[in-house]
Amino acid sequence: MSPQPRSASGGFQQSLARFWQRVSDGMELNQLWSQFKSEARSGYRLYSRDVEGRKDATRPRNHFETVKQFAWAILEKLSPARRVLLLLAVALLLVGGADYASQNARGETIRVSFDLHIYAGLLLLLLLTMEIADRVVMKRDLEIAKEIQAWLLPATPPEVPGMQLAFGTRPANTVAGDFYDVFPRGEGKFLFVVADVVGKSIPAALLMATFQASLKTLSMTSGSLVALVERLNEYACTCSQGGQRFTTAFLAEYTPASRKLNYINAGHNNPVLRRAAGSIERLDVGGLPLGIQAAAPYSAAEVTLAAQDWLVIFTDGLVEAVNERNEDFGEPRLLAELNSGVALAPSDLLRQIMAAVDRFTGTAPQHDDTTCLLARVG
C-alpha cells in the first residue's frame, strides 16, 4: 500500500514547528519569558549605572532628563559610525515618508511617494547584524578564555588522608575571578586556597590567572604560611592598579597526621568551622586583602579539627546571591543547609547548597561569582 501524500497544511505546520524549534532552541514560553526578564534586568542595570553616574545634584530630576540620559548611555555603547547609523534610522522612522510632485510637458502632475520606514528598517537590520557579529566574536573569545581558566582550576579534589573534599564554582559571566585549589605543600601538608579578585569577567579572570601562577611558584619555596602570604601580597601590589584590583583570600596549611589547620584570612569571608556537636566557629585571623598595601602585616592562627567536623570556605557571591526582591541568600540560609546535610558526603551537600541558591535566586541575574569548598573530617 503506497503512503498517503502529505497535505499542504500539514507540511506547513511541520515546517513552522521546525522553524520555531530552531528559533527558541527548544525552550518553553515560560522559559523564554524568564530568560527575557533576566536579560532585561541585566541590560537595565548596565545602563542605569551610567545614568546614575551622570546625575547632576544641582538640576531637578524629571522624566525627560532620565530618558535623555538613558539614550546617551545606549549611544555611547556603540562606535561613532554605528551611532550615526542609529540616529539616521530613528530620523527616518520619525519622518515616515516623503512625497515628490512635478508636472510633465503636458501639464500632468506626477507624484512619487517614498516610504522611509523601509530604509529605516534596513539600517536597523544592518546595525543589528554588525552588533551580532561583534557578539559572536566576543563569545568565541570568552569560550576560549573559559577553557583556559578551566585548566587552571582543579577538576577533582585531591586525596587528603582522613578528609573528604568537594568544591565548585559558578561564574557570574562566562569567566570568573574566583580561585580555589587544594594541593600538597611540604612534607605531609596540604595547602587550601580560596580567593576572590575584586570585579568580574575578563579583568578579574586575568588577575586570577596571575594569582594562580604566583601562588604555585611561591608555594614551592620553603617558609612559613605567613611568609608565603606576605610574598603573595607583595606580588599582588605590583598589578593591583594602586590597590583598586585587590584580592581577598583564605589560605590554610592542613597536616592530616595531627589534624591541625594553620590559616590566614586575608580580608576574605570568614570560613565556617562546624564542630561535630553543632557549634560554629569563624576563622577570621589574618590581615588586609592582597594587593592593597605592600608592607601589610599578616597573622596566622591554628585550629585542631576532629572527626565529623565540617569546614566551609566560600566567596561572597554565595551568601550575596540575590533574588527578584533584591534579598541576599545570606549566611543563615547557608548554615541551615549545612546543618541539614551533615550526614551527606561533601559532594552531595555541595549540590544541595547550590540547588538551594538556585531556588532562592530564581531568574534574578547575579552580580558576582559563586565558589564553595567543603571539607569533612573522618
- Give the pLDDT band (50/70/90) at residue 222: confident
**pLDDT tens sequence across 50-75:** 777 666 655 666 777 778 888 888 88
Asked if residue 292 lies in contact with residue 243, where contact means CB atoms within 8 angstroms, the answer is yes
Fold assignment, 155-377: Phosphatase 2c; domain 1 (3.60.40)
**pLDDT tens sequence across 73-87:** 888 888 888 988 999
Mean pLDDT, the chain, rounded, equals 86
Tell the residue number behind the cell numbers 559571566, with chain if given: 173
- Ramachandran assignment for 176, one of left (phi > 0), alpha (psi -120 to 50 degrees), beta (any other): beta
Q: Looking at residue 24, what is its pLDDT?
A: 85
Q: Looking at residue 58, what is its pLDDT?
A: 59
Tell whether the model's pLDDT for residue 5 goes beyond 60: no
Looking at residue 240, its amino acid is S
Q: In this structure, what DSSP letter does residue 328 have?
A: B
Q: Looking at residue 60, what is its pLDDT?
A: 61
Tell whether the model's pLDDT for residue 124 goes beyond 70: yes
Name the nearest CA neighbour of 190 among 248, 279, 252: 252
Tell whether the model's pLDDT for residue 365 goes beyond 60: yes
**pLDDT tens sequence across 150-170:** 777 888 999 999 999 999 988
- Give the pLDDT band (50/70/90) at residue 110: confident
Asked if residue 98 lies in contact with residue 113, where contact means CB atoms within 8 angstroms, the answer is yes
Tell whether the model's pLDDT for residue 218 goes beyond 80: yes
Backbone angles phi, psi at 260, to 5 degrees: -95, 135
Asked if residue 350 lies in contact with residue 170, where contact means CB atoms within 8 angstroms, the answer is no
Tell whether the model's pLDDT for residue 227 goes beyond 70: yes
Compute the distance between CA of residue 157 and CA of residue 167 in angstroms, rounded to an integer: 7
Percentages helix, strand, coil for the chain (3-state, rounded to 5) are 45, 20, 35
**pLDDT tens sequence across 314-351:** 999 999 999 988 899 999 999 999 999 999 999 999 99
- Ramachandran assignment for 52, one of left (phi > 0), alpha (psi -120 to 50 degrees), beta (any other): alpha
Tell whether the model's pLDDT for residue 17 goes beyond 70: yes
Highest mean pLDDT among 12-26, 196-210, 236-250, 275-289: 275-289
Q: Looking at residue 249, what is its pLDDT?
A: 96
Name the nearest CA neighbour of 337 among 274, 244, 264, 259: 274
Name the nearest CA neighbour of 373 among 194, 253, 211, 247: 194
Tell whether the model's pLDDT for residue 175 goes beyond 90: no
Which of 161-170, 188-197, 241-250, 291-300 is predicted with the least confidence, judged by mean pLDDT? Answer: 241-250
Give me the percent of the chain exceeding a pLDDT of 90: 45
Name the nearest CA neighbour of 275 among 288, 294, 264, 261: 261
Compute the distance between CA of residue 146 and CA of residue 205 in angstroms, rounded to an integer: 9
Tell whether the model's pLDDT for residue 196 goes beyond 80: yes
Tell whether the model's pLDDT for residue 200 goes beyond 80: no
Bigger pLDDT: 363 or 22?
22
